[in-house]
Chain A
Amino acid sequence: MELETDVLVIGGGMAGLAAACSAADAGASVIVVRKGHGATADSSGAIDIAGYLPGGNTPFQSGREGLRAITGLFPYHPYSVLGQESTETGSQFEKALERVEHSVNMLKKWLSGTPAETIGSLERNISAVTVLGTSKPTSLLQKTMLPPDWDDDSILLFEGFAGNPDFNAVLAAKTFMAERARVGEPPKKIADSELTLSPFGKPYNVSPVEIARHLDHPGGTAFLADSLSKDVERTGATHIALPPILGLKTPAENRRILEDRLDVQVFELLSFPPSVPGLRLLRSLDNTLAGLDVRILEAHEAMNYEQSGNRIVRVQCKTHHRSLDILPDSVILASGKFIGGGITGSENGLSERLFGLPVVSEDWTSTDGIRPQRLTRPISINSRGHALFACGVAVDMHLRPLDGSGNTFAENLFSAGSVLAGYNYPVEKSGLGVALATGVFAGTNAAHALQEE
């Protein structure tokens, strides 16, 4: 079977969905093929733009500050590529900032009114609290995850759920208290407690998504409020930190019920993947795409392609027992890195799976023939990170991948997200931000390329 489309997006994570949204916004017909749910669904749901400079220990105060530093120091970082149009004026920062700001605004619009409605800006990084009690800088958070303001009189209660192995309230409270004391900032009183909420009758092996679904049921959140009230009374809590379980469908409403009934402020912590907010984010973006008449072909894996001259003219996809050929005018490669499967490693080095594009390391040298272990450092957790995570494909200023000799691989092939080289998202805390901004830019470029024809 064959399908024709203006823009084909390969990959359905943040980069692919942002690309699809912006291409559809620009009037193109769009098909997204998605093999499985990749790193975005598997994330904490926080959208980081820029948290640290590689090697640095002090977080950026804002996404803007991060962009300025990154574009100033790394001329081939994906953020710098976004700013390349203004190279004549000497700085990539202004244009990059404009593009990232634009994509943040687009994302907020797409997520407005969804369960993943997002808050934050490039002007100030948010210090989000994790289930370990640690803090991390991020730019955008889902509204229910924003830590509220607190003062010296505030009492913060970390509330865990019996049988939920993903969150230990005692440990989180301890860690958070130590950190607060170190920086000398409120809240000064921190408590912890555990309540029993057994959606299926037994207080063990309770997964976060079970609790989230339970809270979406009528009466579910009210019951939680009743259970919480004893702990609030006992501790005098003014703020409650919950693991991210406030529902898949109506988290804002569920939080409001808790706050109204308990007269406290409630927020969700960032958790390990796969998280409820990650699922909310992916589902909300999927729904936005459906509203834009974009077709998402689930469980379709792009396997092969045909090139005619300097253009990709056909992409062959397979499903479990069938195949499908897509005839696109433009293609956006947003297939992810190691989790998404866009780039795979073997003893013969790293390779881009679909087009066989050359994969480069953080110093822009080829990874061909290099065992992936060689791209890691001996100390597993260090502020410089591992080169392995900065590997990817090199691109031109329109985000079109380059071939082995540095020429554009195909004039209608664009790329976005973690398949790109040159940014080390685990240490930079820039993962979903780069995915979003390059996604929007690639989508716009792909749609723009159609109009030129």
Chain B
Amino acid sequence: MSEEEAYEFVKGTLEEEGIVPFHDDELETVKSIENCINCGLCINHCPVVASVGLDRFSGPRSIAVQLTRSPPEYWATADTIYLCTGCGTCREVCPKNVDIPEIVNIVRARIFKTRRDLVPKGLFGVHETLTDYRTAFEPWDDVEEKEASRDMRIERLGLKFVPDRIKDEADVLFYPGCQAEERAQEVREAGKMILEHFGINYTLLEEFNCCGLPARLMGDDETARSLAADLRRKVKALGVSQVVTTCAGCTSSLNDIARRDEWGVPVYHMVEYLVHEVGLDGVRSALKARSDGVLKVTVHDPCHLIRHTSRQTMQDALALLDAVPGVEIVPSGVSDSCCGGGGLVAYHAKDVASAVTQENVGGITHTEAERVVTPCPLCTAQIEASLFRDGSSIEVDDLSVFIAQRLVME
């Protein structure tokens, strides 16, 4: 028996016992558990624990120590591990750098593989869409209807239509993300407007596919890796030197896979791209106030930007907003609190997701802000819906849309 055959044989036995070997790229996360001193500091900061209590969601520490169980027993955590919104607060406060959000993904992947019956039913819809269409949202049946919806959104928000640009030899790939492709189309349009406005040589993907984040979050590791591989192939074929996205989730996910799969191409969120590549002075001179008077704005920091990419991204976002004439930024005190929209929790435990957003709603409605601005279409949708349910008249804008609305048009 060759070494290769022996390995396959052992893998076969493991499968019978419900054990899924770790990937090489997961080992660093797995090893980080060794550092856990079981202090429980993370529990005091977890927004899900704060919203629904430790009895419903056993908290980050219990998740961290789950991995020390014998492998087939992961299924025992299924009732709590899918309630993690993946905000990353625990990793941020952890004195020992235990990578708890990634442990969640690793455990979910094992449950998905060996005990699919325990995966929340609400996730199978997304799973089907992802495997059938390679995006997280079901594409529109009728292209004309999709365009009509887009035009309506453009008109309502006062944006300008820019035709799609798919070309060879572009410098930048603009990757709007599933939500902006199929649902929040205004964000995709705003992104195009901005890049066009600053004369960037960009392109869209000819055939869009999801970065794999939703698949990874539900535990479907195979689909996640196959989507990531597709995307890598497309980026490499285009030969672009930078990737820009308007979605917070895509920013962190693309950065993760670009590092893991060695893309050799930097991935920026639009706010970073505008501040560091276009330059704040250039952006400032291209912006005008949208109406007379001062608009009081408060921001929300998407977890996927501040905790899964870098806290600096929100410094950039604030610098951008500061450059917009007629805008006053009001702090809410809860800007970095998870909106509850992450981790696919809203797909199967809406009550948990809504409970988490209450913290944001409370903080935002206590300010004098007339508008919430956030550089993430998912946070926008989640906070907008919660404010609406709360009876608040405060509107929520995606930051890219907010900027595009204020570009000086010839």
A residues apposed to B, CB below 8 Å: 1, 35-39, 41-42, 163, 199-202, 204-207, 209-210, 213, 273-274, 276, 279, 297-300, 319-322, 324, 339-341
B55 an interface residue at 8 Å Cβ cutoff?
A: yes
User: B41 near A210 (CB under 8 angstroms)?
Assistant: no
Contact digits for B73-107, partner A, Cβ 8 Å, 1 yes 0 no: 00000000000000010001111110000000000
Chain B residue numbers with a CB within 8 Å of A319 are: 309-312
* CB under 8 Å from chain A, chain B span 245-268: 252, 255-256, 259
Interface size on B, residues (CB 8 A): 36
Enumerate 22 A-B pairs (CB-CB under 8 Å) in ascending A order. Answer: A1-B276, A35-B97, A37-B93, A39-B95, A41-B93, A200-B55, A200-B56, A202-B55, A205-B54, A205-B55, A207-B44, A209-B44, A274-B39, A298-B311, A299-B92, A299-B311, A319-B309, A319-B311, A319-B312, A322-B312, A324-B312, A341-B97
Nearest neighbor of A35 in chain B, beta-carbon distance: B97
Closest 3 CB pairs of A and B: A200-B53, A322-B310, A319-B310
User: B43 near A207 (CB under 8 angstroms)?
Assistant: yes
CB distance from A396 to the nearest CB of B (A): 29
Chain B residue numbers with a CB within 8 Å of A274 are: 39-41, 43-44
Partner of A205, one of B58, B92, B93, B252: B58
Chain A residue numbers with a CB within 8 Å of B41 are: 37, 41-42, 273-274
Chain B residue numbers with a CB within 8 Å of A163 are: 55
B323 an interface residue at 8 Å Cβ cutoff?
A: no
CA–CA, A276 to B45, complex, Å?
11
CA–CA, A204 to B88, complex, Å?
26
CA–CA, A372 to B20, complex, Å?
35
User: A199 near B37 (CB under 8 angstroms)?
Assistant: no
B residues apposed to A, CB below 8 Å: 37, 39-41, 43-45, 49-50, 52-56, 58-59, 88, 92-97, 252, 255-256, 259, 276, 306-313
Chain A residue numbers with a CB within 8 Å of B54 are: 205-207, 210
Chain A residue numbers with a CB within 8 Å of B255 are: 321
User: B310 near A321 (CB under 8 angstroms)?
Assistant: yes
User: A36 near B95 (CB under 8 angstroms)?
Assistant: yes
Chain B residue numbers with a CB within 8 Å of A340 are: 95
Given A210-B53, A321-B310, A341 contacting B95 (CB threshold 8 A) = yes
User: B96 near A341 (CB under 8 angstroms)?
Assistant: yes
CB distance from A32 to the nearest CB of B (A): 13
User: B95 near A339 (CB under 8 angstroms)?
Assistant: yes
CB distance from B162 to the nearest CB of A (A): 29
Chain A residue numbers with a CB within 8 Å of B59 are: 207
CA–CA, A340 to B41, complex, Å?
13
CA–CA, A298 to B301, complex, Å?
13
User: A297 near B311 (CB under 8 angstroms)?
Assistant: yes
Nearest neighbor of A318 in chain B, beta-carbon distance: B310
User: A279 near B95 (CB under 8 angstroms)?
Assistant: no
Given A207-B43, A274-B39, A299-B311, A321 contacting B252 (CB threshold 8 A) = yes
User: B50 near A213 (CB under 8 angstroms)?
Assistant: yes
CA–CA, A207 to B43, complex, Å?
8
User: A322 near B307 (CB under 8 angstroms)?
Assistant: no
CB distance from A79 to the nearest CB of B (A): 25
User: B309 near A322 (CB under 8 angstroms)?
Assistant: yes
Q: Contacts A202-B53, A204-B55, A274-B41 known; list 20 others, CB within 8 Å.
A: A1-B276, A35-B95, A36-B97, A37-B45, A37-B93, A37-B95, A199-B53, A200-B55, A200-B56, A205-B54, A210-B49, A274-B40, A298-B92, A299-B306, A320-B88, A320-B307, A320-B308, A321-B252, A321-B308, A322-B312
CB distance from A91 to the nearest CB of B (A): 38
CA–CA, A320 to B256, complex, Å?
10
Nearest neighbor of B56 in chain A, beta-carbon distance: A200
CA–CA, A298 to B255, complex, Å?
20
CA–CA, A210 to B50, complex, Å?
7
Nearest neighbor of A206 in chain B, beta-carbon distance: B54
CA–CA, A297 to B40, complex, Å?
23
